[in-house]
DNA sequence: CTCCGGAGGA
DNA sequence: TCCTCCGGAG
């Protein structure tokens, strides 16, 4: 077809999303240049597997208490674990502190500015390294998370994205769609991700509120397979080790600082003694708790 | 109850 | 490549 005006045009979509970003972006405290590079990294680590809205109060308190990598590096582990609160996946808290130590010691308290150096930091994977490069340093780099994968797949391919790791084709597509200029690329990453988080959601996309509904192949095709395919296998929580670990750690966090959880108290948290012990052992392995000779538990020092 | 989401280790 | 790691919103 010679003049297919319906074919999605990346430049046109980028313009529309940039305009939408100006009016619709959530006012998160680490956005719009208000946070340090380190603050941006902390926000990204906290946002791994956790909704931004839940992160905000934790991030604010965290950055007030430990404004930079050096400050976090010197904090007692127990305080770090406690401050992580109910964000979930508390190993992230320890990795973030390890990251802070690396930054403080090896990089003189300044985040490194290359993707490879960022990627090598504890708790920093492809997504976080790319996000810091883009959002903290303003570099032109394709950021790929599940929101961006979903939006790009729907808008340009008219399909739901597959689960699993991003394929080389997906990565190449993401790079190709990136606007030429640095500033444009940053806004592209932020706006596509924001669209995926708030409008182009996985299960019930709000197409009537979408600024690029007129350019979307997925919508034009009648949203084929909407909600049929999961981006990842379903994860149960009730009865799992994750729930038990959460109960134990939460009990420790709620204790007065420095005090221990007696064995009897721990046993009251979960009926299945075998599973409880396995979870305590795994928390110990992770460095999230310490077991004393009498069987009581405490947060690590 | 179901949904959502990166890193790292096996 | 698969699996485990959480908690709160809907």
Instruction: Measuring from the CA of residue A49 to each C1' atom, give the nucleotide at the shortest distance.
Output: B5
Task: Look at residue A161 and tell me if it is in a domain.
Answer: no
Tell me which residues of chain A have a pLDDT lower than 70: 1-7, 229-235
Which chain C nucleotides are covered by protein, judged by CB under 7 A?
1-9
CATH number at residue A269: 1.10.10
CATH number at residue A72: 1.10.340.30
Residue range(s) defining the domain that contains residue A55: 26-136
Task: Look at residue A275 and tell me if it is in a domain.
Answer: yes
Task: Look at residue A74 and tell me if it is in a domain.
Answer: yes
Q: What is the model's pLDDT at position A300?
A: 93
Read off the pLDDT of residues A233-280 as tens digits, 9 standing for 90 and up.
Answer: 566 788 889 999 999 999 999 999 889 999 999 999 999 999 999 999
Q: What is the model's pLDDT at position A238?
A: 81
Within residues 240-259 of protein chain A, the ones with CB less than 7 A from nucleic strand C are 240-243, 245-247, 249-250
Catalytic residue numbers of A, as ranges: 44
Task: Look at residue A227 and tell me if it is in a domain.
Answer: no
Burial code of A176-191, b = ≥16 C-beta within 10 A, e = fewer?
ebbbeeeebbbbbbbb
**Residue A293 CA to nucleotide B10 C1', Å?**
30
Q: Last residue of a domain, which of A136, A164, A182?
A: A136
Task: Look at residue A48 and tell me if it is in a domain.
Answer: yes
Task: Look at residue A236 and tell me if it is in a domain.
Answer: no
Task: Look at residue A129 and tell me if it is in a domain.
Answer: yes
Asked whether residue A237, judged by its CB, lies under 7 Å from any atom of the DNA or RNA strand C, the reply is: yes
The count of structural domains within chain A is 2
Q: Last residue of a domain, which of A116, A136, A156?
A: A136
């Amino acid at each position: 077809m010679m003049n297919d005006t319906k074919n999605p045009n990346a430049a046109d979509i980028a313009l529309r999303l940039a305009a939408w970003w100006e009016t619709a972006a959530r006012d998160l405290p680490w956005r719009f240049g208000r946070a340090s590079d380190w603050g941006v990294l902390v926000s990204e680590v906290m946002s791994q597997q956790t909704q931004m809205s839940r992160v905000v109060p934790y991030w604010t308190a965290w950055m007030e208490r430990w404004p930079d990598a050096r400050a976090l590096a010197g904090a007692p582990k127990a305080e770090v674990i406690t401050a992580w609160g109910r964000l979930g996946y508390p190993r992230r808290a320890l990795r973030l502190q390890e990251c802070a130590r690396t930054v403080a010691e090896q990089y003189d308290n300044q985040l490194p500015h290359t993707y490879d150096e960022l990627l090598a930091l504890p708790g920093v994977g492809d997504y976080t390294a790319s996000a810091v490069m883009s959002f903290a340093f303003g570099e032109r780099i394709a950021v790929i998370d599940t929101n961006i994968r979903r939006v790009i797949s729907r808008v340009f391919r008219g399909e739901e994205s597959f689960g699993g790791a991003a394929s080389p084709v997906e990565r190449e597509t993401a790079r190709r769609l990136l606007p030429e200029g640095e500033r444009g690329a940053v806004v592209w990453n932020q706006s596509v991700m924001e669209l995926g988080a708030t409008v182009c959601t996985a299960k019930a996309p709000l197409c009537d509120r979408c600024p690029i509904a007129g350019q979307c192949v997925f919508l034009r095709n009648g949203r084929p397979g909407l909600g049929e395919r999961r981006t990842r296998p379903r994860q149960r929580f009730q009865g799992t080790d994750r729930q038990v670990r959460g109960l134990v750690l939460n009990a420790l966090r709620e204790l007065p600082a420095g005090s221990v959880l007696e064995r009897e108290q721990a046993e009251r948290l979960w009926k299945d003694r075998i599973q409880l012990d396995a979870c305590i052992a795994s928390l110990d392995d992770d460095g999230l708790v310490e077991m004393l000779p009498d069987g009581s538990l405490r947060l690590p020092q």
